[in-house]
Amino acid sequence: MNRSIIEGIKTRLGRHESNWLEELPNVLWAIRTTEKTSHKRIPYSLVFGSEAVIPAEIGVVTQRTLNMDPEANNKETMLNLKLLEETRDQAAIQEAKYKQKMEAYYKKESSMNASSQETLYLETMRLVKKRTKENLAQSGKVHIRYLKHIRVDPIN
């Protein structure tokens, strides 16, 4: 969460970070009203049980604000609040599944990386040995029969 806030402030201010406090509410609003990848829900709706109305829509007449019926809105809000606990539970389950998938993916990647890193290390050492022999032979400083004794040991 903190990383998201810092990145949001940096994005909005660029290199001039002197007025970060003025941008903080806008960044927090953006984070709270953006759908999370892990559970496909908006944090604002998990807290308040309804969609957020952006501040620009409050003062301007839009289709959304024009068709709002206060009585129906109150009934809908009460229903949403009754169903909110179930929605939160579903979001928690989806987030747990997402985290398990990510964990499995990274475990698979790290096990694959270990073998590929070993292969890369061995191939690099082979090339180093080959180039060392070639360079020494070209320089004429070492007789070619001594080059077969050059050995590169792995670093532990």
Q: Tell me which amino acid residue 61 is.
A: V
What pLDDT digit, counting tens, does each position of 41-93 carry?
888 888 888 787 776 666 777 777 777 788 988 898 888 888 888 888 888 88
In this prediction, residue 15 has a pLDDT band, given cuts at 50, 70 and 90, of: low
What's the pLDDT score for residue 156?
Answer: 45
**Residue boundaries of the structural domains of the chain:** 33-117
In the chain, the N- to C-terminal Cα span, in Å, equals 38
DSSP letters for 16-60:
--TTHHHHHHHHHHHHHTS--TTTS--HHHHHHSSPPPPHHHHHS
Q: What number is the average pLDDT over the span 96-114?
A: 80
Provide the whole-model pTM: 0.50
Rg (CA), the chain: 30
